[in-house]
Structure 1
Amino acid sequence: EEFIQSELDKRKPGQSKITTQRKESDTAQILSGVFEGKSTGTPIAIVIPNEDQRSKDYTHIKDIFRPSHADFTYQMKYGIRDYRGGGRSSARETAARVAAGAVAKSFLTQFGIEIFAHVSGVGTIEAPNVDTKDLKALLELREANIARCADPATANEMVEFIDSVRKAGDTVGGRISAVIRHVPVGLGEPVFDKLHADLAKAMMSINAVHGFEYGSGFAGSELRGSEHNDIFVADDHDLNRVHTHTNFSGGIQGGISNGMDITFKVAFKPVATIMRDQETVDIHGNPAIASGKGRHDPCVVSRAVIIVEAMAALVIADHLLKNQSYKHAAR
Structure 2
Amino acid sequence: MSSFGRVYRVHTYGESHCKSVGCIVDGVPPGLRLTEEDIQTQLSRRRPGQSDITTARSEFDTVHLQSGTEHGVTLGTPIGLLVHNKDQRPHDYAETDLYPRPSHADYTYLAKYGVKASSGGGRASARETIGRVAAGAIAEKYLKEAYGVEIVAFVASVGKVALPFAEEDDEVLGKEYVDLIKTVTRVEVDKEITRCPHKATSTKMEETIRAAKARDDSLGGSVTCVIRKCPLGLGEPCFDKLEAVLGHAMLSIPSTKSFEIGSGLRGTTFPGSVHNDPFVEGEDGKLRTTTNWSGGVQGGISNGEDIYFRIGFKPPATIAQEQQTARYDGSSGVLAAKGRHDPCVVPRAVPIVETMAALVIMDMVMQQNARAAAAALLPPLTHLPPTMVLPGKATVDKVVHGESVGEVQGQKAGEE
Q: Is 1:196 paired with 2:231?
A: no
Q: Aligned-pair distance for 1:36?
A: 2.9
For 1:39 and 1:123, how far apart are their aligned partners in 2?
Answer: 43
For 1:19 and 1:90, how far apart are their aligned partners in 2?
Answer: 15
Q: Could you tell me which of 213, 222, 230 is aligned with 2:260?
A: 213
Give the structure-2-normalised TM-score.
Answer: 0.77
Q: Is 1:249 paired with 2:298?
A: no
Q: Is 1:170 paired with 2:205?
A: no
SS of corresponding position for 2:152: strand
For 2:139 and 2:68, how far apart are their aligned partners in 1?
Answer: 14
SS of corresponding position for 1:292: coil
Partner of 1:156: 203
For 1:154 and 1:74, how far apart are their aligned partners in 2?
Answer: 38
Bigger radius of gyration among the two: 2
Worse-matched range after superposition: 39-48 or 10-19: 39-48
AA in 2 matched with 1:63: L
SS of corresponding position for 2:130: helix
Q: Could you tell me which of 305, 312, 320 is aligned with 1:275?
A: 320
Q: Is 1:309 paired with 2:373?
A: no
Counterpart mapping for 1:74-93 below 5 A: 74-93=109-128
Summarize deviations over 1:214-242 as a string: whole Å, max 9, x none: 01100111010111110011247x8x510
AA in 1 matched with 2:204: E
Q: Could you tell me which of 222, 241, 263 is aligned with 2:269?
A: 222
Q: Could you tell me which of 118, 134, 154 is aligned with 2:154?
A: 118
Partner of 1:329: 374
Q: CA RMSD in A?
A: 1.3
For 1:195 and 1:60, how far apart are their aligned partners in 2?
Answer: 42
Is 1:24–1:52's contact at 8 Å kept on the other side of the alignment?
A: yes
Q: Percent identity between the aligned chains?
A: 49
For 2:224 and 2:250, how far apart are their aligned partners in 1?
Answer: 12
Give the structure-1-normalised TM-score.
Answer: 0.96
Is 2:249–2:357's contact at 8 Å kept on the other side of the alignment?
A: yes
For 1:133 and 1:118, how far apart are their aligned partners in 2?
Answer: 12
SS of corresponding position for 1:77: helix
Partner of 2:338: 293
Partner of 1:318: 363
Q: Note the residue ranges of structure 1 that are not aligned, 5 or more in a row.
A: none
For 1:304 and 1:145, how far apart are their aligned partners in 2?
Answer: 14
Partner of 1:131: 180
Is 2:181–2:308's contact at 8 Å kept on the other side of the alignment?
A: no
SS of corresponding position for 1:149: coil
Is 1:141–1:152's contact at 8 Å kept on the other side of the alignment?
A: no
SS of corresponding position for 2:84: coil
Partner of 2:303: 258
SS of corresponding position for 2:288: strand
SS of corresponding position for 1:203: helix
Partner of 2:228: 181
Partner of 1:49: 84
AA in 2 matched with 1:299: C
Number of residue pairs the alignment of both structures matches: 327
For 1:290 and 1:80, how far apart are their aligned partners in 2?
Answer: 21
Worse-matched range after superposition: 156-165 or 111-120: 156-165
For 1:60 and 1:190, how far apart are their aligned partners in 2?
Answer: 48
Is 1:117–1:305's contact at 8 Å kept on the other side of the alignment?
A: yes
